[in-house]
């Protein structure tokens, strides 16, 4: 198939520059993967994955020489990331340049051994037919679609299909990828691929590094339909192979994945996903899962903090604002927000939107000026003043000063 309109005009300049450069080096050059899939689906395209039959790093270096920008090469896989900073703003920030390669998996779940090869082999190493199409960019072949594995048919049938029966055993992260595409595009995993999600392939998940699995989960939580994806992952029985105590995602919390706090707290979608998923577990299980999934210490602290707060809510209900504030102050804001979402406890929202910003006017310097030597008493007095503001005991600076004099 040849269709010169297949590639949006604003990207054609950039692509033809790359293609010309590849052609001058004698390298056939293709757009592959998500770009082609989304283009054919009429979805916005943002990933630029370019495969060359030749050395992608050499191509990258010559692009930098001619057009400027920055190149980050990865010599092991002969790939490079080019940031064409000097080109106009309608172009993407980065472009992946990939040496066409074949891949073999010596052990299930390990990283593949790679060998430079043809575009045909390169398409056959991929995850699904819908991701195994290429558009040729160089010379008179510009705009030609390569679809040796039936990707277009599967796109029109809304079907996700692996390329061979060993695919999920070679790399079970593809199961997560399939789940993402299903919910993102309202596609269905083809029955012949679905039966390949079985104990043989799932068992490989046990051996996968926490980092690789967490990366897949991160990608899920970044998507709009992440709750649907998590439910599907649970239905397919993925979690117990990752960690024996990893629970299903609580359906009742699904809506909270999509919520924009509207507050001045930085709330990452992925962190919120993990907090909601794991906050009802015991402390020991949370730490064990955090280790298995290679959580950062911040994320571990946020999940743990939310679980602790949720458990202590019954003891805090109906407390004075100052009690709430001092209890919440050491917890990550996102953990507090998550507990607010699932409990509806208004004091948590009051803390996030108001109480945490309330401070006394008096400072340590003021206390020094009053002749008080620095020490534990300092903090005590400042806390008492702050509590007085929080609980409405003082309402203006004059009243604060009166209280301060009493305390001194």
Tell me if 49 contacts ligand ATP by CB under 6 A. Answer: yes
Residue number with CB closer to ligand ATP (33 or 54): 33
Contact between 387 and ligand ATP by CB under 6 A: the answer reads: no
Residue 115 phi, psi dihedral angles, 5° rounding:
-140, 130
Is residue 356 packed enough to be buried (19+ CB in 10 Å), middle (13-18) or exposed (0-12)?
middle
Q: Which of residues 274-303 bind ligand ATP (CB under 6 A)?
A: none
Structure-token pair, residue 339: 């507990």
Q: How far is the CB of 321 from ligand ATP (least distance, A)?
A: 45
- In the bound state with ligand ATP, the residue whose beta carbon lies nearer, of 111 and 248, is 111
- Of the residues 28, 33, 84, 321, which one makes contact with ligand ATP according to CB under 6 A: 33
Contact residue for ligand ATP among 58, 131, 334, 362 (CB under 6 A): 131
**Sole binder of ligand ATP in the list 47, 120, 144, 294 (CB under 6 A):** 47
Minimum CB distance to ligand ATP, residue 391 (Å)? 51
Q: Which is nearer to ligand ATP, 173 or 226 (CB)?
A: 173
CB of 205 to ligand ATP, least distance (A): 13
| Nearest of 81, 87, 18 to residue 52 by alpha carbon | 18
d(CA 214, CA 296): 11
CB of 363 to ligand ATP, least distance (A): 50
Question: Quick check: 50 and 32 in contact, CB under 8 A?
Answer: yes
Using CB under 6 A, pick the residue from 11, 16, 17, 34 that binds ligand ATP. Answer: 34
Q: Which is nearer to ligand ATP, 174 or 190 (CB)?
A: 174
Mark residues 146-185: x for contact with ligand ATP by CB under 6 A, - for none.
Answer: -------------------------x-xx-----------
> Counting contacts by CB under 6 A, is residue 214 touching ligand ATP?
no
Q: Which stretch binds ligand ATP (CB under 6 A): 12-20, 125-133, 240-248, 299-307?
A: 125-133
Candidates 7, 91, 119, 126: give the one binding ligand ATP (CB under 6 A). 126
d(CA 331, CA 285): 19
Computed from CA positions of residues 105, 22, 50, 80, in that sequence, does the dihedral angle turn out positive or negative?
Answer: positive
Q: Of the ranges 114-122, 124-132, 148-156, 283-291, which one interacts with ligand ATP (CB under 6 A)?
A: 124-132
Given a contact cutoff of 8 angstroms between Cβ atoms, the answer to whether 326 and 281 are in contact is: no
Burial of 69 (0-12, 13-18, 19+ CB in 10 A): middle
Q: Which residue, among 279, 133, 160, has the nearest Cα to 229 in the 3D structure?
A: 160
Q: Which residue is nearest to ligand ATP (CB)?
A: 34
- Cβ distance to ligand ATP smaller for residue 33 or 321: 33
Nearer to ligand ATP, 34 or 92 (CB): 34
Of 154 and 171, which CB lies nearer to ligand ATP in the complex structure? 171
The angle, 0 to 180 degrees and rounded to 10, between the axes of the packed helices 226-235 and 173-185 is 130
135, two tokens: 């558009």
Closest CA to 352 of 395, 309, 393: 309
The strand pair at 101-104 and 113-116 is best described as antiparallel
State which residue, 213 or 347, has the beta carbon closest to ligand ATP: 213
User: Quick check: 127 binds ligand ATP (CB under 6 A)?
Assistant: yes
Q: How many residues bind ligand ATP (CB under 6 A)?
A: 10
Least distance in angstroms from the C-beta of 202 to ligand ATP: 16
Query: Smallest distance from the beta carbon of 174 to ligand ATP, in angstroms?
Result: 5
How many residues does the structure list for the chain? 408
The nearer residue to ligand ATP, 126 or 386, going by C-beta atoms, is: 126
Give 101 or 386: the residue with its C-beta nearer to ligand ATP: 101
Q: Which positions lie near ligand ATP, rule CB under 6 A?
A: 33-34, 47, 49, 126-127, 131, 171, 173-174
């Amino acid at each position: 198939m040849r269709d010169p309109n297949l590639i949006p005009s604003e990207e054609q300049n950039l692509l033809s520059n790359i293609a010309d450069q590849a052609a001058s080096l004698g390298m056939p050059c293709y757009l592959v993967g998500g770009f082609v899939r989304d283009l054919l689906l009429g979805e916005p395209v943002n990933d630029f994955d370019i495969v060359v039959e030749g050395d992608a790093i050499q191509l990258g270096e010559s692009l930098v020489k001619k057009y400027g920008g920055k190149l980050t090469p990865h010599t092991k896989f002969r790939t490079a990331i080019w940031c064409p900073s000097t080109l106009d703003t309608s172009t993407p920030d980065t472009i992946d340049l990939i040496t066409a390669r074949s891949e073999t998996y010596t052990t299930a779940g390990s990283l593949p051994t790679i060998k430079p090869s043809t575009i045909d082999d390169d398409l056959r190493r991929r995850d699904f037919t819908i991701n195994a199409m290429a558009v040729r960019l160089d010379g008179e072949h510009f705009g030609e679609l390569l679809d040796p594995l039936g990707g277009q048919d599967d796109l029109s049938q809304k079907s996700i299909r692996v390329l061979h029966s060993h695919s999920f055993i070679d790399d079970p992260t593809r199961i997560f990828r399939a789940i993402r595409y299903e919910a993102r595009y309202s596609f269905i995993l083809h029955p012949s691929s679905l039966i390949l999600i079985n104990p043989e392939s799932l068992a490989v998940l046990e051996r996968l590094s926490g980092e690789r699995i967490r990366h897949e989960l991160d990608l899920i939580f970044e998507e709009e339909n992440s709750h649907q994806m998590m439910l599907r992952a649970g239905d397919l029985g993925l979690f117990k192979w990752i960690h024996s105590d990893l629970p299903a995602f609580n359906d009742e919390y699904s809506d909270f994945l999509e919520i924009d706090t509207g507050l001045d707290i930085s709330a990452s979608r992925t962190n919120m996903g993990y907090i909601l998923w794991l906050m009802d577990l015991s402390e020991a299980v949370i730490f064990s899962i955090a280790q298995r999934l290679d959580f950062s210490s911040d994320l571990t602290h946020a999940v743990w903090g939310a679980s602790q707060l949720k458990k202590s809510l019954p003891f805090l209900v109906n407390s004075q604002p100052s009690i709430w504030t001092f209890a919440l102050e050491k917890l990550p804001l996102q953990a507090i927000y998550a507990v607010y979402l699932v409990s509806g406890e208004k004091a948590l929202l009051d803390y996030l939107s108001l109480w945490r910003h309330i401070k006394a006017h008096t400072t340590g310097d003021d206390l020094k000026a009053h002749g008080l030597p620095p020490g534990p008493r300092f903090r005590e007095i400042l806390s008492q003043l702050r509590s007085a503001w929080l609980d409405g005991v003082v309402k203006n600076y004059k009243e604060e000063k009166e209280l301060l004099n009493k305390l001194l």
